């Protein structure tokens, strides 16, 4: 490679040579012109070499950048394993034995979660292990169609109501026990991310998560989500195995929500949800069902207000009560009813050793105007949750009438208000 120093040296040597031997002025001029041409040629070659060197360096940098980016993409692929172990303490008003013992402390669940991606395909799954059953809460693969839309296929959440939960406490709301909160079924879900202040979820669910009315399972009650599994006739007991089995099928569900931004720390989401599908008895169509809800979810600084009102209707001739299944036992609900909830919560970040957050809440739910003429179902939960590292704990005081897990049934007819004090301790990893 040539340098300017080399060019100057050549020029100096040339001039000395000409001054020593040239005697004619014209010869000297001609030789000087030739020397200038050589110098210009050398400078052109030097410039070309510098450009080539820069191009080579740029190419190497680009290749290294692409290699690093490709390695980072490969490193981001993979499935992560997580989970939780939970235990539960309860002291109740409706069990003399429980009161006599000063309450009971039991194992709740051990669960495993899978989450991640391989290439462009997402995976999300959760399986729960109880003393009395094993249940898959959700298990689906997903694909990001574009910046706004994602599709999920498998056991995925039915889009309905305040999302993802219409509650803050361990027991959810009264809607959960009707199959209208945190319900998961088998199908397709198209989710539009929040953009331009609006969001849309559209789903088609072929049947419930256990394969419908004739799914190959040992018990249709061994599930996490509440679903209709039959209907009741006059002599059927509230907790009996369903003598007239039916199952949900070909359900369409949609949820639309618009977010109002009042200020930087004040937002309100207002939404409408609806679903409709068929009921099958294993041989033919037995009826249909539908539900709708209006919902509001407002955040102001540390406060959160949730409001929801809706109706549902299972339409089978001369049937006013349905059988539902979950948590390894059967229960009953009215075939038609109205439901309203109001929830208020306050979140408080703290630094108390391992404790990083507290949330105080009161959740109230009411199911009324029931088609089976049973009394209203009411549940009020006052409590708080504590986040401390991997530990998350609920402290709940529940007052309820005709409420599952609080001394009653959603199809009960009791006028008594029962009480349950509950502590649920979970370690999440």
Residues 359 and 369: beta-carbon distance below 8 Å: no
Q: pLDDT tens digits for the chain (429 residues)?
A: 444 444 343 444 343 343 444 445 666 666 666 666 666 665 566 555 554 444 444 444 455 545 444 454 455 689 999 999 999 999 999 999 999 999 999 999 999 999 999 999 999 999 999 999 999 999 999 999 999 999 999 999 999 999 999 999 999 999 999 999 999 999 999 999 999 999 999 999 999 999 999 999 999 999 999 999 999 999 999 999 999 999 999 999 999 999 999 999 999 999 999 999 999 999 999 999 999 999 999 999 999 999 999 999 999 999 999 999 999 999 999 999 999 999 999 999 999 999 999 999 999 999 999 999 999 999 999 999 999 999 999 999 999 999 999 999 999 999 999 999 999 999 999
> Residue 174: CA atoms inside 13 Å, Cβ hemisphere, count?
33
Comparing CA positions, the residue from 224, 260, 8, 4 lying closest to residue 135 is 224
90 Cα distance to chain centroid: 29
Domain boundaries, the chain: 4-67, 78-428
Residues 187 and 139: beta-carbon distance below 8 Å: no
Task: Specify the pairing of strand 227-231 against strand 244-245.
Answer: antiparallel
Residues 82 and 408: beta-carbon distance below 8 Å: no
What is the CATH architecture of 78-428? Answer: Beta Barrel (2.40)
């Amino acid at each position: 490679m040539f340098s300017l120093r080399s060019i100057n040296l050549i020029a100096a040597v040339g001039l000395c040579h000409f001054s020593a031997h040239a005697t004619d002025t014209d010869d000297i001029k001609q030789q000087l012109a030739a020397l200038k041409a050589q110098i210009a040629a050398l400078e052109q070659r030097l410039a070309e070499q510098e450009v080539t060197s820069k191009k080579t360096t740029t190419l190497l940098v680009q290749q290294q950048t692409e290699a690093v980016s490709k390695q980072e993409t490969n490193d981001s692929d993979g499935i992560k394993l997580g989970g939780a172990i939970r235990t539960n303490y309860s002291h109740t008003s409706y069990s003399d034995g429980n009161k006599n013992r000063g309450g009971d402390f039991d194992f709740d669940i051990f669960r495993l979660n899978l989450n991640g991606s391989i290439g462009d395909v997402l995976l999300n799954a959760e399986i729960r292990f109880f003393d009395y059953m094993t249940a898959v809460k959700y298990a689906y693969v997903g694909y990001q169609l574009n910046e706004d839309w994602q599709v999920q296929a498998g056991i995925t959440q039915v889009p309905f109501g305040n999302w993802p939960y219409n509650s803050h406490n361990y027991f959810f709301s009264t809607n959960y026990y009707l199959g209208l909160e945190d319900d998961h079924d088998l199908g397709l879900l198209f989710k539009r991310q929040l953009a331009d202040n609006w969001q849309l979820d559209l789903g088609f669910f072929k049947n419930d998560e256990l394969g419908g009315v004739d799914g190959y399972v040992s018990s249709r009650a061994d599930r996490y989500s509440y679903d209709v599994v039959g209907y009741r006739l006059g002599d059927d007991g509230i907790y009996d195995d369903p003598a007239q089995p039916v199952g949900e099928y070909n359900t369409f569900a949609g949820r639309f929500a618009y977010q109002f931004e009042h200020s930087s720390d004040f937002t309100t989401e207002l939404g409408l949800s609806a679903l409709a599908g068929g009921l099958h008895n294993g041989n033919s169509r037995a009826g249909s069902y539908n539900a709708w809800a209006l919902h509001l979810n407002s955040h102001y600084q540390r406060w959160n207000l949730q409001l929801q009102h809706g109706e549902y209707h299972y339409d089978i001739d001369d049937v006013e009560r349905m059988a539902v299944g979950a948590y390894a036992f059967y229960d009953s609900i009215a075939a038609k009813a109205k439901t309203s909830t109001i929830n208020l919560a306050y979140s408080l970040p703290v630094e108390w050793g391992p404790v990083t957050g507290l949330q105080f809440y009161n959740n109230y739910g009411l199911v009324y105007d029931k088609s089976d003429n049973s009394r209203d179902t009411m549940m009020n939960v006052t409590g708080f949750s504590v986040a401390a590292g991997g530990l998350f704990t609920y402290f709940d005081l529940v007052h309820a009438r005709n409420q599952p897990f609080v001394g009653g049934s959603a199809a009960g007819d009791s006028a008594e208000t029962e009480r349950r004090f509950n502590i649920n301790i979970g370690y999440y990893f």
